[in-house]
């Protein structure tokens, strides 16, 4: 089996590609709309709570960042300079990965009491266009306000 030696740029590109894949694996995105119970049902809004949720897994992002930073740092220099660059790269990568995972997203959790008495929590990243007491229909794509008939 013949082994080919990669150039410095090829190694750098391979490490960078692997690093981005690891960082993306450690990040999770909050869905724009999420229903915790069966959808397409009518009910009444009982609560609206604004909250923040963490975007990703901090441990995975920190470890992934350290690995990527260390690999990138290892591509620099030689001897003790290379060792120092590896250590600094790993530390910097861990910090960047952790900071990326610590970002938070603003969400609204809307409690809906369905007509059958069951309760659902709908989470969305946009401000709701409903208020407590509104009659709504929950579907797979969102909450829609039901029109009130004339009294």
pLDDT tens digits for 11-28? 665 665 666 555 555 555
- Has residue 28 been placed in a domain? yes
pLDDT at 75: 77
pTM of the model: 0.48
- Has residue 90 been placed in a domain? yes
- Has residue 3 been placed in a domain? no
Q: Which of 84, 62, 65, 64 is nearest to 73 (CA)?
A: 84
Total structural domains within the chain: 1
Domain enclosing residue 125, as ranges: 9-145
- Residue keyed to tokens 């709570």: 49
- Has residue 125 been placed in a domain? yes
pLDDT at position 49 over 70: yes
- Has residue 151 been placed in a domain? no
For residue 113, give the 3-state DSSP assignment: strand
Pairwise CA distance, residues 42 & 80, whole Å: 68
Task: Answer with the residue of higher pLDDT: 1 or 91.
Answer: 91
- Has residue 4 been placed in a domain? no
91-141 residue pLDDT tens: 887 777 776 766 677 888 999 999 999 998 888 888 888 999 999 998 877
pLDDT at 21: 58
- Beta bridge mates, 22: none
51-103 residue pLDDT tens: 877 666 677 777 887 788 878 877 776 777 777 777 777 788 777 777 676 66
- Has residue 43 been placed in a domain? yes
Pairwise CA distance, residues 28 & 105, whole Å: 11
The CA distances from residue 30 to 41, 49, 60, 99, in Å, are: 23, 16, 17, 17
């Amino acid at each position: 089996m013949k082994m080919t030696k990669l150039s410095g740029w090829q190694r750098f590109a391979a490490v960078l590609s692997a690093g981005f894949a690891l960082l993306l694996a450690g990040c999770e995105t909050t869905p724009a709309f999420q229903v915790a119970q069966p959808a397409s049902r009518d009910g009444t809004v009982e609560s609206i709570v604004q909250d923040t949720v963490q975007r990703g897994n901090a441990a995975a992002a920190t470890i992934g960042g350290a690995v990527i930073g260390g690999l990138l740092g290892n591509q620099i220099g030689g001897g003790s300079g290379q060792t120092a660059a590896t250590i600094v790269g790993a530390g910097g990568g861990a910090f960047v990965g952790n900071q990326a995972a610590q970002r938070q997203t603003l969400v609204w959790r809307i409690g809906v009491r369905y007509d059958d008495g069951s309760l659902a929590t709908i989470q969305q990243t946009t401000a709701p266009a409903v208020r407590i007491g509104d009659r709504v229909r929950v579907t797979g794509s969102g909450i829609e306000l039901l029109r009130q008939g004339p009294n």
